Chains A and B, each alone.
Chain A
Amino acid sequence: MDYEIVVGLEVHTELKTHSKIFCGCSTKFGSPQNTNVCPVCLGLPGVLPVINEKVVEFAVKVGLALNCEIASFSKFDRKNYYYPDLPKNWQTSQYDLPIAINGYLDIEVNGESKRIGITRVHMEEDAGKLVHSGATITSSDSALVDYNRTGVPLLEIVSEPDIRSAEEARAYLEKLKAILEYLDVSDCKMEEGSLRCDANISLRPQGTTKLGTKAEMKNLNSFRSVQKGIEYEAVRQEEILEEGGRVIQETRTWDENKGISLSMRSKETADDYRYLPEPDLVPIMVEPARVEEIRASLPELPDARKKRLMEAYGLPEYDAAVITTSKAMADYLDESIQHKADAKIAANWLMGEVSKHLNNEGISILACPVSPKQLAELIALIDKGTISNKIAKSVFEEMWTSRKDAEVIVKEKGLVQISDSSEIIAIVDAVIAANPQSVADFNAGKEKAIGFLVGQTMKQSKGRANPDMVNSLLRERLQSN
């Protein structure tokens, strides 16, 4: 039987507010353990939460960017469960009245556009972190708790089960990450846990509409994990169904190293969180005027930016799509265009040399040692014919390490392209004189021989001779011989 895979994603993203959701403590990542804490986030007796207005603003921004309806009346609830990383033994979250509902996100897979529904966006607090004494939970005889992360604001973004493949899931997540980055509300670092993804995965026979039993997959810590995890789970469930078995509703964890998923716990009986409307917080009422104010403040989002890059600069769709996936990359391109770089050439450099160097060093474009202005100047040197493309690559190399401007490097190293025909002719003549065999081959009709002679000329000029001129002058001299 052919099966259709049905996926819904629950994404948690840490908001990059300066302070926590219900107290004034810093949200800084990587601080010494238990230093970003106070009576409120430690849940000491008698404390009360106060909502960080910035969190509401960020939530509304995200809701609007995901085409949601913003609730005019929303509230917090206590989600009760016992776990030592949760000092109050409840998580303050939103249950039946989330801040935003009924949105969507458009993704593109294999050139096809598709709309994925967004069920809801809600605000909640993060939990602390357990530090186990042993290598694994089961081999540890104790655990310590670091409460720095307790109370860091989170948004949970829940999709409809509209995703039909691992590729779509990945595209959805990449698009969502791009939007969150464009909104400047989250760092979206999956490795630091500021973007986390759980996937609800089920199968159903092609052509049917009833949802199959789902498994919830956790610990998907990278885009790759999301894709691999879903692919794996689809195969696992298909094998069970093909053998006439029954998929169990359960929570599974993805083991990236082994490339398999493992059962964490059965969810045959639903968790009972005994939700209670949070009596210590007042309902959140966002006035329509405030919503419009926030809507007006939204920055250009990935889709609009892609369209602009295509329409204003004639960038091919592929280039525009690749570059706008990262806000920082698109910002870089826009800035280099402002410095008069040709958009397409700058895009090529970004997707080529720049990305290659960034990847080699594992750094973000925000840390790129070559500034957009410097790249624009390098491109200008090529454009003016001062240096060749080939020389430009070695100049870029030098710029990367020395951070000097292209012009300075070209001057210091004497890399200015030789476009003076008499100078080139002198070299060409010397090369012709030194390589009689190649000249004979060329005259005998071996077209290939000219390549060798061009190479020799370029070598003699230390790569500085204008390649086009070398080519034409060589032919000219050979034919006149």
Chain B
Amino acid sequence: MELFKYTAHQLHEKLVSKEVSAVELTKNVLARVDAVENDVKSYITQTGDSALAQAEAVDAKIKQGQAISMLAGIPGALKDNICTQGIKTTCASKILAEFVPPYNATVVEKLMTADTVIIGKANMDEFAMGGSTENSGFFTTHNPWDLRAVPGGSSGGSAAAVAAGQAIWSLGSDTGGSIRQPAAYCGLVGMKPTYGRVSRYGLVAYASSLDQIGPITRDVTDCAHVLNIICGHDAKDSTSINTLVPDYTKALVNNVKGLKIGLPREYFVSGMDSEVERAINKAIEQLVALGAEYKEISMPHTEYALSAYYLLAPAEASTNLARYDGVSFGKRVEGNDIVDMYKKTRSEFFGAEVKRRIMLGTYALSAGYQDAYYLKALKVRTLVKQDFDKAFENVDVIITPTAPTTAFRIGEKANDPLAMYLQDVCTIPVNLAGVPAVSIPCGFAANMPIGLQIIAKPLAEETLIRTAYTFEQNNDYHKGFATLGEVK
């Protein structure tokens, strides 16, 4: 039985009805990992042994008739920038190749409390910088829908694992689109919650004011279930929001009557694939047919968002990554003196994209340039945020494509950072504004999945879930399973 193809909520039913055991399910997924990992390369570290132990504990609970959480015994994957006690957390960087955290991220603690099963730590772009996993310090992950294509990034391993049946669900992190874009490329549901909704404690920082952890799942229902477990205030994260977390499954309502949708014309950029554009328009028509209203809106500062992001995120990254200096943890290359050691260590173990962003960020913060770059970018960020505030005075959700194209071929943009950056053009403004957004499958272009992005105001994840669920229940896009072949 191909248990690995089911959703978490379907598998939960099978566990509680004792149709299958958690150990059987975990073994099924582990066997799938063994079968396809050579082709997909989702995982940096596999944790099969501890996964089986976790599954056994869940089976014991079921046997004793104890109630179990919706994710109990359901195998998942964690992006390798989420700290796991006793398990290597590398951020796909050679500089952290041997780093074993002595503590768990808050989300990991929550997942442990919910008795989930963790299959492994998923590949990513080094320190979450990139959109294809080609910037991983170790290897590139392949898109299960076409092994020649990238899975997107930076949470490419997390998305590929779910798409390939190597995990039922996963967590990624999203700084400029790193959950939504790979979810779109891999035909999955990926949500970036409101900034502060999920604790960042234990998420290795790329750009602290933009980073947010979120789920990648096969359908919207699973997304709601994962959110129920990972959201909430954390005293260890000063930026986490201290408001009650609703039961997101209550928002799984197949009804968009009266929903006001805004379609910002600025998001339909030049270079957008015409089939992507067609799929988005079709989705809007469908939602309108289901009772939603739609209007075109303008978000005039959108065009500056990308530039602002590539100053702000690198500026924060340049200080966040300063600690990888060979002194107290991580690898070291000896030098003639301490400065020489710093230089040699960082030159040797950071990849090209990480170095590029550290340089950019250092420059943007330097005396004499800070006003022109960093502070100007902060002002743009405020304007972008105001665009959203204004838009949400008139609409409930904003709908855009998640990315201008479907997954591109491995190597296609590897030497053109600007082309790579443009893949994030639709997702970045959301991080700058701190608002929540979800990407859901909305069709195929040349047999590759297309992602639809739905954006809502802060803490309106329930609106996202209702809209996404309604669209999903009236379509079949989420039901297809990746072929693990090559698209003709």
Contacts and interface: CB of A to CB of B under 8 A. Distances in A.
A83 B235 CA distance: 30
Contact of B89 (A45, A50, A51, A78): A45
Contact of B205 (A46, A84, A87, A274): A46
Given A87-B323, A274-B365, A48 B316 contact: no
Interface in A301-348: none
B235 A39 contact: no
A383 interface: no
Contacts of A279: 207-209, 239, 316
Interface in B79-114: 81-83, 89, 91, 96, 99, 101-103, 105
Contacts of B89: 45-46
A84 B345 CA distance: 14
A89 interface: yes
Nearest to B91: A45
Given A46-B203, A48-B200, A276 B102 contact: no
Interface string A140-162: 00000100000000000000000
Nearest to A83: B338
Interface stretch (B27-35, B63-71, B225-233, B325-333): B325-333
Interface string B357-378: 0000010011100100010000
Given A45-B91, A274-B362, A78 B202 contact: no
Contacts of B328: 42-43, 87, 145
A289 to B, nearest CB: 21
Contacts of A51: 238
A455 to B, nearest CB: 73
Contacts of B209: 279
A88 B366 CA distance: 18
A283 B239 CA distance: 10
B204 A46 contact: yes
A82 B238 contact: no
B367 A270 contact: yes
A281 interface: yes
A280 B208 contact: yes
A46 B201 contact: yes
B319 A276 contact: yes
Interface in A71-92: 78, 80, 82, 84, 87-90
A14 B370 CA distance: 31
Contacts of A84: 325, 327, 338
Given A78-B319, A145-B327, A272 B366 contact: yes
Contacts of B238: 48-51, 280-282
Contacts of B325: 82, 84, 89
A276 B204 CA distance: 18
A80 B101 contact: no
Contact of A80 (B96, B319, B327): B319
A47 B103 CA distance: 10
A47 B99 CA distance: 14
Contact of B204 (A45, A274, A281): A45
Nearest to B365: A274
- Choose among B239, B327, B329, B367 the residue with the greatest number of A CB atoms under 10 Å from its CB: B327
Interface in B301-357: 315-316, 318-319, 322-323, 325, 327-329, 338-339, 342
A140 B208 CA distance: 38
Interface residues of B, number: 44
Contacts of B208: 279-280
B101 A90 contact: no
Contacts of A45: 83, 89, 91, 96, 99, 101, 204-205, 323
A439 B274 CA distance: 131
Majority SS at the chain A contact face: loop
B236 interface: yes
Interface string A22-52: 0000000000000000010011111111110
B83 A46 contact: yes
Majority SS at the chain B contact face: loop
A82 B322 contact: yes
Interface size class of A (residues with CB under 8 A): 20 to 34
A349 B149 CA distance: 89
Contacts of A50: 235-238
A276 B101 contact: no
Interface in B182-204: 200-204
Given A42-B328, A46-B83, A48-B237, A89 B322 contact: yes
Contacts of A272: 366-367
Contact of A90 (B82, B319, B374): B319
- Choose among A43, A49, A90, A280 the residue with the greatest number of B CB atoms under 10 Å from its CB: A280
B307 to A, nearest CB: 19
Contacts of A48: 200-201, 236-239
B48 to A, nearest CB: 24
A89 B323 contact: yes
A70 to B, nearest CB: 21
Nearest to A281: B238
Nearest to B342: A82
A377 to B, nearest CB: 53
B86 to A, nearest CB: 13
- Choose among B207, B236, B319, B338 the residue with the greatest number of A CB atoms under 10 Å from its CB: B319
Interface in A416-466: none
Interface string B263-299: 0000000000000000000000000000000000000
A281 B82 CA distance: 20
A409 B111 CA distance: 72
Contacts of B103: 39, 44
A87 B239 CA distance: 22
A50 B239 CA distance: 9
A44 B101 CA distance: 8
Contacts of B96: 45
Contacts of A78: 319
Contacts of A145: 327-328
A464 B230 CA distance: 84
A82 B203 CA distance: 23
B201 A88 contact: no
A21 B367 CA distance: 28
A88 B362 contact: no
A432 B365 CA distance: 95
Nearest to B102: A39
Interface string B227-253: 000000001111100000000000000
B234 to A, nearest CB: 9
A43 B96 CA distance: 14
A271 B207 CA distance: 24
B101 A46 contact: yes
B197 to A, nearest CB: 15
Given A50-B235, A279-B209, A280-B239, A274 B329 contact: no
A274 B203 CA distance: 24
Nearest to A273: B367
A436 to B, nearest CB: 88
A46 B237 CA distance: 11
Interface string A334-368: 00000000000000000000000000000000000
Interface string A208-239: 00000000000000000000000000000000
Contacts of A44: 101-103, 329
Contact of A47 (B91, B201, B315): B201
Given A39-B103, A89-B322, A276 B239 contact: no
Contacts of B370: 274-275
Given A272-B367, A274-B362, 9 more contacts: A45-B204, A51-B238, A270-B367, A274-B318, A275-B370, A279-B207, A280-B238, A282-B238, A282-B239
Report the 8 A-B pairs with minimum CB-CB distance, sorted nearest first.
Answer: A89-B322, A274-B365, A279-B208, A279-B209, A45-B204, A46-B83, A272-B367, A46-B202
24 contacts: A39-B101, A39-B103, A45-B96, A45-B99, A45-B204, A46-B101, A47-B202, A48-B200, A50-B237, A82-B339, A84-B327, A87-B323, A88-B322, A88-B323, A89-B319, A89-B322, A90-B322, A145-B327, A274-B318, A274-B366, A275-B365, A276-B316, A276-B365, A279-B239
